Amino acid sequence: MANRSWGGRFERDLDKKAAQFSASVDVDKRLAPQDIRGSIAHVRMLGERGIIPAEEVRRIIRGLEAIGLEVEQGRFHWDSAKEDVHMNIEAALIDKIGEVGGKLHTGRSRNDQVVTDMRLWTREACHFTGSRVAELLAVLAVRSAGAIDILLPGYTHLQRAQPIRLAHHLLAWCEMLERDRDRLFDAAKRMNLSPLGSGALATTTYEIDRRATAKELGFDGITRNSLDAVADRDFLIESVAALVNCAVHMSRISEELVLWSSQEFGFIKMSDAFTTGSSMMPQKKNPDMAELVRGKSGRVAGHLVALIVLLKGLPLAYNRDLQEDKPATFDAFDTVNACLEILAGSIATAEFNSERMRAALAKGFIEATELADYLAVRGVPFRKAHEIVGRLVRLASKQGKHLSRLTLEELRAEHEGFSTDVYRALDPETAVERRRIAGGPARARVKKEIAALRKRLQRSGIDVDRTAARFGAKVSRPD
């Protein structure tokens, strides 16, 4: 049997196996800083409202601060028999200052206490992970600046499609990641209401001041309904969903790194610092870090599913099932943070093979669209131009030629609108520069987008060059 840390209602101790099964302190002790902050705000408010004498409030706060220091220094003894982080801290407080420590829980339940802790922790975690996303963005901003003049094929269906700038491709990754960061910040903003004072489910008869504790804890306000406040964890679902989006985007980036570093592509050479060898094949240099980032995205998605399934059948208000929200949430944030750091290092130190990328433009008839556009701007309906160029691709394919190697006579045999200037239109650089509308890959557009990205990062407090250099990126600026 296990001794109960609370509860005069019971005649028997809790079964030892049941106590082990229900203990959560090994996981939720991570909430200790938030728990202590919330407790200090709560007891200070109790003193201000005259519910607890001022001297007792001072003793409780000093005791909590001492426990906080022990936790920070790794000297605090966690006892699984006391079930969770809350009971461990409260028991330690009573040991330090006597029975007056038991007054800390006046007008409060573990139900509103734990959800307050989780909101505080997750709010901070969203901002921390958002800053890690910004670091990866800084790396990409610097690498984009050094890749403006590198051309490579853009792909659809993993088939060569049209020429683009490498910088334009890297900026596409940035667009994904910036939305991920914004989603995390949005989630942090939406959850920023204090549930403290909701009690177990129906508030309390004490004349507490919920707005005072909310203000001290940095909340924007208080929750409006006590039942909802203690019962729902949608703020965790929203936060972890944002993490899943980020993990999926990192997985897609990693997939391209894996493809590009293969001998078949040869577009990129990953640093030795972020690759591994084979236990059997001496020649291998495997992009394992990118593969692991790709693989861990499934783990993060699994945590989201776990949270959704956890909540979907729960009646109001609090149910012990909600104890299981923490492992999923903590690991989702930990995993995404680790992936962001590894991906930043991998991209910062990778070498782009500009010659191999440029050579890939010579195969796959990626200049075909330029040929169709050439006719279209001269009045040929695009669908007809598409058909004409399709026949020219078939001809060039049979002859083993590029479209640019077809003679003017061969081109004009399909349509008389072709003139000698058609060959300039088939040059990849010309093709890219013609796409100078907003969002396009023309050099001026790409430079403008890099500058705008840098400004956005700098406004959020990121020193772009210094951050990128910390991950090993060589800082360069476009002409």
Q: Does residue 168 have an active-site annotation? A: no
Contacts of 34 (CB under 8 A, 6+ apart): 116, 117, 118, 120, 121
Contact indicator for 435, 441 with CB cutoff of 8 Å: yes
Contacts of 113 (CB under 8 A, 6+ apart): 35, 38, 39, 86, 196
Distance, CA of 116 to CA of 196 (rounded, Å): 6
Distance, CA of 85 to CA of 69 (rounded, Å): 15
Contact indicator for 430, 373 with CB cutoff of 8 Å: no
Contacts of 281 (CB under 8 A, 6+ apart): none
Q: Which two tokens stand for residue 12?
A: 């028997």
* Tokens 């003049």 belong to residue: 149
Which is nearest to 146 in space by CA: 128, 122, 171? 171
Q: Which two tokens stand for residue 100?
A: 């007056």
Contact indicator for 191, 232 with CB cutoff of 8 Å: no
Q: Does residue 278 have an active-site annotation? A: yes
Q: Which two tokens stand for residue 461?
A: 């407090």
Distance, CA of 224 to CA of 138 (rounded, Å): 40
Catalytic residue among 278, 397, 419, 476: 278
Distance, CA of 99 to CA of 121 (rounded, Å): 29
Tell me which residues are annotated as active site. Answer: 157, 278
